[in-house]
Chain A
């Protein structure tokens, strides 16, 4: 074929073709895997979202156009509310997660004893995954135990000192903080990488000029890690949207079992199209706000 005709030309060309073929052989196993389990399923699931299943086995289906999508918008009673709830959740969680992970990264970045161990403990929740194990572990989170444990004196102290309603706010906050800390392992690592990338000479210079730590943070640290903030915003949003504990994802997963694959595919596509647009918007907005050092 084409490589034969090329071989007749100059020798370096033939060499290049041979290299190309060798490379292709190297890539082949991965390509087959990616085509079979990523590219093909992607197109297939687009097709599913526009189809209706004829039999439960799922081998036969016919084209129904936008029917699945219009069902979700017009007739489904659960999809839109869950969608909105998820958006609200993400809007609340993303800034809190970012602030906490930045604070922790800055704390752990200082020279203190045992910072390696601290980093490890903050990172461990990432290892436990987002699935069932994490949920069952968080079921015994701080908030729950604080409120109904005999070991904790905290509740009684709280109740006596600040009264019932405020105490529930505090315990509510305590239970949320564990979840937030558990979700921010990766963000902490990324922030740490960013903080360590800032040259210490900048801080030295500003200290000589008499700047306070507070000014250093706003004028040096924040601008220089702004690309990482962007990365973290996107990561946190995707993580929050695709978390298997959120109800919308649970519905999509359930559609496999209940045999409503097509509707599930439509749900998935709508959801991820939305996620994609939001991330794109975030990138566009943050691009204007991030500080570019030139080399980055």
Chain B
């Protein structure tokens, strides 16, 4: 796959080099192209820039009317307030950060292991009823989680998991989308490699860990990004499963912070908190970028 892509890229470059003559007359159109893309970029990036500026705005700029877009005298006051004055109230902000990090990381890791195991077993061992399961998975892709959220609540409360980390982790472990993505990749695994390992006497779980998992790395590293993003941003499950303040995750804490009493006086700290909440997803994406794009274009779907 990769080799093919590289080859095609090289081919394209050659064509471009040879086709210089065709491109020359289009200089003005090229400038126009940059201008259009830049304009669209401004619109896309604007809310993010505004959010970042807001997080660093001192109090008098926040209250200025009409409001400023860009920060004039940046301060860290909002962040300091977020960590000190909020600590003095009920639950320290660092606790929310810990909650979010812990829940997300555990959910992502377990989900990857379970989905990879499931997809590998299903594709390469073909147990009875494999076809039926695939059909269910495809059907599950079409459904929004909201239909099943209500009975899910019943199950979670029935298991006695309300107000625990497990309530946020367990339901998101066996997701259909993750399974589907890994399944697409598992079908590419060469049978001969697995056969060779078996002839050499390797046990099934050893084959899975030593051979299959490294080969599936493009799949599960993409999955890690998506699963991180969806778990990190999920404000609905904590809203339903978590009632204690100390167990809330960042998105929900943010929601509580920006609603209710004293909203206006806290708009700076809310800005700082929003920045802290969005930063990890963007960092994770930046680190994994190349791989994600490649997998997305390959599998051709993202849900």
Contacts and interface: CB of A to CB of B under 8 A. Distances in A.
Interface in B43-72: 43-48, 50-51, 54, 64, 66-70
B125 A200 contact: no
B276 to A, nearest CB: 11
B33 A124 contact: no
A182 B44 contact: yes
Contacts of B147: 42, 45, 265, 268-269, 272
A133 B117 contact: no
A92 to B, nearest CB: 18
Contact of B125 (A22, A48, A272): A22
A4 interface: no
B122 A27 contact: yes
B118 interface: yes
Interface in A75-132: 104, 107-108, 110-112, 118-132
Q: Which 7 A-B pairs have the closest CB atoms?
A: A23-B125, A33-B174, A26-B121, A30-B118, A129-B233, A41-B151, A44-B151
Contacts of A132: 235, 251, 254-255
21 contacts: A20-B128, A24-B128, A31-B133, A31-B174, A34-B176, A37-B152, A48-B151, A112-B37, A118-B37, A122-B44, A128-B278, A129-B232, A133-B235, A136-B258, A137-B51, A145-B69, A148-B66, A200-B15, A256-B240, A261-B150, A279-B142
Given A121-B44, A268-B147, A145 B50 contact: yes
Contacts of B124: 23
A20 B129 CA distance: 10
Given A253-B146, A268-B147, A178 B43 contact: yes
Contacts of B235: 131-133
Contacts of B230: 129
A25 interface: yes
Contact of B236 (A24, A204, A244): A244
Interface of A: 19-27, 29-34, 36-42, 44-45, 48, 58, 104, 107-108, 110-112, 118-133, 136-138, 140-142, 145, 148-152, 174, 177-178, 181-182, 186, 189-190, 192-193, 196, 200, 204, 207, 228, 231, 235, 238, 241-242, 244, 249, 252-253, 255-256, 261, 264-265, 268-269, 272, 276, 279
B29 to A, nearest CB: 9
Nearest to B158: A59
B11 to A, nearest CB: 8
A110 to B, nearest CB: 7
Nearest to A268: B147
Interface stretch (B83-91, B93-101, B213-221, B295-303): B295-303
Interface in B12-51: 12, 15-16, 22, 30, 33-34, 36-37, 40-41, 43-48, 50-51
A69 to B, nearest CB: 15
Given A20-B127, A118-B37, A133-B277, A140 B174 contact: no
Given A23-B127, A136-B270, 14 more contacts: A23-B130, A26-B125, A27-B118, A36-B155, A41-B152, A42-B148, A45-B147, A128-B281, A132-B251, A149-B67, A150-B64, A178-B47, A190-B301, A268-B146
Given A110-B33, A131-B233, A22 B44 contact: no
